[in-house]
Copies of this chain bind each other. A is one copy, B any other.
Amino acid sequence: MALRAVPLSLTSSLSGASFFQHFVLEENMLEVDCPCVTPEIVLKASGHVDKFTDLMVKDEKTGTCYRADHLLKDFCNEKLQKDLSISPEKAAELKRVLAVLDDLSAEELGAKIKEYGIIAPDTKNPLSDPYPFNLMFQTSIGPSGLSPGYMRPETAQGIFVNFKDLYYYNGNKLPFAAAQIGQAFRNEISPRQGLLRVREFTLAEIEHFVDPENKAHPKFSDVANLEFLMFPREEQMSGHAAKRIPLGEAVSRGTVNNETLGYFIGRVYLFLTRLGIDKNRLRFRQHLANEMAHYAADCWDAEIECSYGWIECVGIADRSAYDLRAHSEKSGVPLVAQEKFPEPREVEKLFINPVKKELGLAFKGNQRMVVEALEAMNEKEALGMKDTLESKGEMEFYVCTLEKNVTIKKNMVTISREIKKEHQRVFTPSVIEPSFGIGRIIFCLFEHSFYMRPSKAGDEQLNVFRFTPLVAPIKCTVFPLVQNQQYEEVAKVISQSLTTAGISHKIDITGTSIGKRYARTDELGVPFAITVDSTSSVTIRERDSKDQIRVNVERAASVVKEVTDGRTTWAVVWSTFPHHSSGSADE
């Protein structure tokens, strides 16, 4: 983990202003800021302590660690691309391995590594068998050494364990969402691909809590007509390409599981394209059945194409009630919502009443475990037992906690369906989670925003980042055309107005030629340059068109402010103010 600084401005304009405006304000979301250091019990409940692992192999002599699946993947890809002598059968086999790579167990991976004779790429030494390595950074909380903790691998768990307070804060009403932006930590075995796989990164996560029986979204119609590249499961399985599908159609056909999930897919599309991501290099890919967690109802990744291929930058998942249930169970605190009925409703309910006396006589010290297992039966199991007991008088029943079957007799439990009046429905909300890898989005934004244009002299290529005014870390530059005290004074006055307006900017009073100064700021992706060439009016230049307008000194800051805030556009400004011809100044 190198201690390199990331210029914060782009992260902050992206995760701060844009994300806040586009999601938090727009949907009236709650915001929270939970700690990074997380007690073990929270991550036990979420499953991370037991399952957040990658399979690792070690160089048996040097101890260098590798991700087992990466080695196998690299081996297969290289064989397929470079070894012209392999048979069609062998090629088909390697392709099959690549397709199921994510599903292989430690044993299966180990067997393949042995079979193919894969060795340590750096030393050619033999490799150990694969074994799981937990990706969380471990630490110890407090001075005693008795309270293990981990750096959070995602921000979401903080929102789940605070569900009760958030629900209360929202007036005990569903649906609502809570958002969190912060650091997440994953102790990757081998960070690679530049900024795409790092050990510490900024996540922006939204947990939208919704009634599982009603996942309609009141604002879905706002996004229903959007049409963009979608890559449903079926298209992937049948080897087709991603295709443009209207979002409304994808939801109504059931390709996307529900309206709320669809709404967020649409909002993520708008977010990314407004930031400046090329819509032709953005697709929404549905998880295959084997990729998706067993509890998830549906999951789509916003993938952006860059020089490393199609990169997952946002995951949008319907995680059903899994997370809240897991924390309820571990903590004993019910994380549930209530729907109060306007009038009491008659509901047919299943009652399982274990007869403790009889069970006690039969199972002695194991009574409690049997009672719990009986009470934990779902409706189908209970009705099956009722039938069997009525017809046969007894049945074999598996008790997990005892790890064996016991014989339940008719007198040990009564199972009945009764009509009951209910005043409310208590349920565990479902969670729809859009989760944004801010660093990955920024990386792709760099690639999609970069272009080169010839200098006027034609002797060199000039670099430009076409950052939109919304995301550009520096919104504006201020240049006195020539070194001259009067112009510098004007530049300082404009700089002060920009500061007051909250516009980040750079003032450059060096005597460098104006063309060079434009080229420098184009390379930083600054959208507007104000050049002071008189004491009464100045020019404003737009980066990509290189068009210039002339405005009064007093108006300069406010024009930049209005375009930057999105209250107007450069096109409108261009049609409003007198144009200025740059002559030969602008290379």
Closest to A25 in B: B499
Q: Known contacts A5-B158, A16-B16, A32-B6: does B37 contact A185 (CB below 8 Å)?
A: yes
Closest to A11 in B: B33
Closest to A189 in B: B143
* A538 proximal to B (CB < 8 A): no
B26 touches A7 (CB 8 A): no
* A138 proximal to B (CB < 8 A): yes
Q: Known contacts A138-B139, A143-B65: does B6 contact A33 (CB below 8 Å)?
A: yes
Among B16, B64, B65, B139, point to the contact of A139 (Cβ < 8 A).
Answer: B139
Number of identical protomers? 2
With the chains together, A187 CA to B142 CA distance in Å? 6
A8 touches B180 (CB 8 A): yes
Q: Chain B residues near A141 (CB, 8 Å)?
A: 1, 137, 187, 199
How far, in Å, is A439 (CB) from chain B's closest CB?
A: 10
Q: Chain B residues near A30 (CB, 8 Å)?
A: 7
* A250 proximal to B (CB < 8 A): no
* A200 proximal to B (CB < 8 A): yes
Q: Known contacts A141-B187, A502-B25, A504-B25: does B32 contact A158 (CB below 8 Å)?
A: no
With the chains together, A9 CA to B4 CA distance in Å? 28
With the chains together, A7 CA to B159 CA distance in Å? 11
With the chains together, A36 CA to B200 CA distance in Å? 8
Tell me which residues from 1 to 26 in chain A have a Cβ below 8 Å from any Cβ of chain B: 1, 3-9, 11-12, 16-17, 20-21, 24-26
With the chains together, A244 CA to B185 CA distance in Å? 47
Q: Chain B residues near A140 (CB, 8 Å)?
A: 137-138, 187
Which of A73-81, A90-98, A160-168 lies on the face that meets chain B? A160-168
Q: Chain B residues near A36 (CB, 8 Å)?
A: 36, 151, 183, 185, 200
Among B7, B17, B143, point to the contact of A31 (Cβ < 8 A).
Answer: B7
What are the interface flags for A154-187 relative to B under an 8 Å C-beta threshold, 1 for contact and 0 otherwise? Answer: 0001110110011000000000000011110101
* A482 proximal to B (CB < 8 A): no
Closest to A565 in B: B502
Closest to A159 in B: B5
With the chains together, A166 CA to B499 CA distance in Å? 21
A64 touches B144 (CB 8 A): yes
* A515 proximal to B (CB < 8 A): no
Closest to A498 in B: B25
State the main secondary structure of chain A at its contact with B: mixed
Q: Chain B residues near A12 (CB, 8 Å)?
A: 16, 20, 31, 33
Number of A residues near B (Cβ < 8 Å) is 69
Closest to A149 in B: B1
Closest to A473 in B: B31
What are the interface flags for A381-402 relative to B under an 8 Å C-beta threshold, 1 for contact and 0 otherwise? Answer: 0000000000000000000000
* A63 proximal to B (CB < 8 A): yes
* A34 proximal to B (CB < 8 A): yes
B166 touches A5 (CB 8 A): yes
Closest to A146 in B: B63
What are the interface flags for A368-412 relative to B under an 8 Å C-beta threshold, 1 for contact and 0 otherwise? Answer: 000000000000000000000000000000000000000000000
Q: Identify the A interface with B (CB < 8 A).
A: 1, 3-9, 11-12, 16-17, 20-21, 24-26, 28, 30-39, 42, 56, 63-65, 133, 137-144, 149, 151, 157-159, 161-162, 165-166, 180-183, 185, 187-189, 199-200, 202, 499, 502-504, 506-507, 565
What are 17 contact pairs spanning A and B, CB under 8 A?
A1-B142, A3-B34, A3-B42, A5-B34, A6-B34, A7-B31, A25-B499, A25-B504, A36-B200, A37-B199, A63-B144, A138-B139, A139-B151, A141-B187, A142-B189, A143-B189, A183-B183
Taking A3-B161, A7-B30 as known contacts, 19 extra A-B pairs with beta carbons closer than 8 A to each other, sorted by chain A number, are A1-B35, A1-B37, A5-B32, A5-B33, A6-B32, A8-B32, A12-B20, A12-B31, A24-B504, A25-B499, A25-B504, A36-B183, A37-B151, A65-B143, A138-B139, A138-B140, A141-B187, A142-B189, A502-B565
